[in-house]
Amino acid sequence: MFQFSLSFLLVPLVAYFLGSIPFGLVLAKLFGGTDVRKKGSGNIGATNVARVVSPLAGILTLIFDVAKGAAAVLLAERLSNDSATSMTIAAVAALVGHCFPVWLKFKGGKGVATAAGVFLVLSPPAFLGAVILFLLVVIVWRYVSLGSISAAAAMPLLMYFLWARHHAPPLAITFGAMAAALLIIYKHRGNLQRLLEGVEPKFSFSKNKDAE
């Protein structure tokens, strides 16, 4: 009982700090010697890093941000003997860490890549469905932000229908997916406003354009 309680307390804490590692900021300084928070959109995510620094730096940011989300859930899975509740708590904690990192005065990224890592572990079919939806939206409309919002909004439904054949996910997973979706959409509120106004920049690797 004590061991379970200890891991139940440690998992969200460790997951938060994993999620809070600002890989975009670190890689932008390594590759371009610049503070990505002061360029483009000011976001530390892969899209802004790719535009401001280089596509390679953006790809590496994406990989590491996905990896930290996946690592948080895998850690919870190991320590809790596959507890859906513990894994969901770790998932949300990692996402909160990325969006509100203590190291950056709680001003972090928008959580898309970290959420991708989280759901890759929780439900690979749902993850694949979200990636397909994201790519379709970006290819058709060329808005990374719209693709991210669409994938996030669809994730609770994808998790529900693709969790397991003829089985709905545990309630913890359902509510966790909804919480993640709402947080990501909230972090994109500026993008939503620009989309409504018709001034949201379209996808491009050009450094002369504003980033997501």
Asked if residue 35 is part of any domain, the answer here is yes
**pLDDT score of 209:** 43
Asked if residue 115 is part of any domain, the answer here is yes
What pLDDT digit, counting tens, does each position of 113-159 carry? Answer: 999 999 999 999 999 999 999 999 999 999 999 999 999 999 999 99
Using CA atoms, how far apart are residues 81 and 116, in angstroms rounded to an integer?
Answer: 22
Residue that has been written with the tokens 């529900």 in this structure: 160
**Which residue range forms the structural domain that includes residue 148?**
2-197
Q: What is the pTM of this model?
A: 0.91
CB proximity list for 42: less than 8 A, separation 6 or greater: 36, 48
Asked if residue 205 is part of any domain, the answer here is no
Asked if residue 211 is part of any domain, the answer here is no
Using CA atoms, how far apart are residues 138 and 86, in angstroms rounded to an integer?
Answer: 33
What pLDDT digit, counting tens, does each position of 5-27 carry? Answer: 656 788 999 999 999 999 999 99
Asked if residue 112 is part of any domain, the answer here is yes
Asked if residue 202 is part of any domain, the answer here is no
Tally of structural domains, the chain: 1
Asked if residue 131 is part of any domain, the answer here is yes
Asked if residue 107 is part of any domain, the answer here is yes
Output the CA–CA distances (angstroms, integers) from residue 168 to 67, 126, 158, 164, 173, in the order listed.
Answer: 26, 13, 11, 7, 10
Q: Got the DSSP string for 127-179? A: HHHHHHHHHHHHHHH--HHHHHHHHHHHHHHHHHHHSBTTBPPPHHHHHHHHH
Can you list the alpha helix ranges (DSSP code H) found in the chain?
2-19, 23-32, 46-52, 55-80, 84-99, 112-122, 124-141, 144-162, 171-187, 189-197
